[in-house]
Amino acid sequence: MLSIDQIKRDKQTMEHKPTARDNQDESSTTDGFHVVIDALKANGIDTIFGLVGIPITDLARLAQAQGLRFIGFRHEQQAANAAAIAGFITQKPGIALTVSAPGFLNGLVALANATVNCFPMILISGSSEREIVDLQQGDYEEMDQLNIARPFAKASFRVNHIEDIGIGFARAIRAAASGRPGGVYLDLPAKLLAQTMPAAAARRSIVRVIDPAPRQWPATDAVDRALDLLRSAQRPLIVLGKGAAYAQADAAIRELIEQTGMPYLPMSMAKGLLPDSHPQSAAAARSYVLAQADTVLLIGARLNWLLSHGKGATWGAADKQWAEKRFIQIDIAATEIDSNVPIDAPLVGDIGSCVQALMQAMAGKVPRGNEAWLAAVGEKKSKNIEKMAQALDADPSPMNFHSALRAIRDVMRAHPDIYFVNEGANTLDYARSIVDMAKPRKRLDSGTWGVMGIGMGYAIGAAVVSGHGVVAVEGDSAFGFSGMEIETICRYQLPITTVIFNNNGVYRGTDLNLSGGSDVAPTVFVKGARYDKIIEAFGGVGKHVTTPDALAAAIEDGIQSRKPTLINAVIDEKAGTESGRLTNLNPQSSAKKP
């Protein structure tokens, strides 16, 4: 184990120019700890999210001593969530560091979530000795982590020898960032970190990854095919997925949409690619445009459950059949094409290149939707916006989801650079359609997998890598998955304002125990809980509010102060609905509800 004195000497060495290490001869040695850190630094990685313990505590200490930022969490799942969302925001793999076995397993949910959501991140875990694990001889926290991780990661690697650390990190970085991004597992056995080798040879073994996500231009005939479909469309629709946001091809996407004049529908994490107030946004007429469009251009969006798999009544088809629509799909992975319905014009390549190729091929002959279609979409939007306005203008006491989110919407409009993290059932569903986004990659939510518990990890990750403030709006149930990270937020004095919609339970707080027993119903929490007191215990600012005006003022104070703030927002316990808008996925009992 490294001593504190050794770490201090390493830091002093690092701060001198030229460094002493540059002058070392072949007889000088280094160890696995140093080579791991050198591999990270060589690839521009400056932050590690993690939780220390055997065998990686000294790795975290030394990384911090050598200039990397280490953000320590209370649970590995949130450290890995932070790394994943950092990858989404920056396009550079986020790094999560965990201990072996239980710590590794805690990070595994976030690794799987990153893979499903296509976020580049690397989960690095210490592990037990291979010889003992392979013979199942009962080592400390013995577990075959590499094989356990494989089904949940885009790729998994183990480094057994110090001279392979450089290439191991290079492979992990390229796997995480290239093609369709995803989560990668990197296994570092304990004895690897203590191995030594000549310092000069170690420096030569480090690999700096060149162009980890190279551009992939689509085939010319594929572009022509897609353009022919767009030109013949009468009711075209563009669907933007979070892949379009991740691509950071914002200007090209906006040019395509505005030059064609086509209506577009942003999925939740694509909101803000163009401002939600944009006249071509069809978000307020979602059901109408999905059912009525005859040609759909998918940009970084997959026809998964969030889009009803491209089938059924959502798309204007009877039962579960394919609709009579033509699909153009832009995707980096050819294997995604035809995953649910036939794709008439696949465009395989990175989003920026594909959109640019379409624009170049148009050469002044820009396809546009007919005026009747655009007018119909506009009329439907106006009716739905008017209907929503009536719900938002109401001022019930206690607050409901609409009135509370109206207050949040108004504050967020004044702060377009603030990140908005959102999770829950009703809290998430209503916020998608009420809280506007004006800039890209500012809305961070449960995404493709729909998993709860991402809230505090995403908020911390966004605040750390961006330096911007964060507003995290959480259902009281969703907050429970990661609530202890409030201490992490206070420890690092991060500018995060957390709003908890407190309606006393999962979905709502009114359910009763059907047996008549003394235990509360499975969905009910402590009545009148004061979540604001949690952050006060760690030195943060707690606020308890019961009205929209008070909620807006409390959020504004949190943003302006940049102090860790938690707001307990009391919501009518009768306001929620079972499973939010996913009732169709939740089997309902025939038992009569009270």
- Give tens-digit pLDDT for 359-388: 999 987 777 768 899 999 999 999 999 999
- Contact between 425 and 506 under an 8 Å Cβ cutoff? The reply is yes
Question: Band of the pLDDT at 133, cuts 50, 70, 90?
Answer: confident
Q: Give the pLDDT confidence of 195-232 residue by residue, as tens digits.
A: 999 999 999 999 999 999 999 999 999 999 999 999 99
Cβ atoms 149, 108 nearer than 8 A: yes
pLDDT digits (tens, 9 = 90+) for 225-269: 999 999 999 999 999 999 999 999 999 999 999 999 999 999 999
**The tokens of 79 are what?**
């450290």
Mean pLDDT, residues 128-138 = 83
**Which sign, positive or negative, has the C-alpha torsion 269, 273, 278, 279?**
negative
Q: What is the pTM of this model?
A: 0.93
Q: What is the pLDDT of residue 365?
A: 76
CA distance 81 to 84: 5
Percent of the chain having pLDDT more than 90?
Answer: 86
Beta-carbon contacts of residue 372 (< 8 Å; ≥ 6 apart): none
**Angle, alpha carbons 245-246-248 (nearest 5°):** 75
The backbone region for 119, taken as left when phi is positive above 0, alpha when psi lies in -120 to 50, beta otherwise, is beta
- How far apart CA 409 and CA 430 sit, in angstroms, is 11
pLDDT digits (tens, 9 = 90+) for 44-101: 999 999 999 988 999 999 999 999 999 999 999 999 999 999 999 999 999 999 999 9
Over residues 488-513, mean pLDDT:
96
User: Please, are residues 131 and 90 in contact by the beta-carbon 8 Å criterion?
Assistant: no
List, for residues 110-119, the tens digit of each pLDDT value: 999 999 999 9
Strands 121-127 and 155-158, bridge-based pairing = unpaired
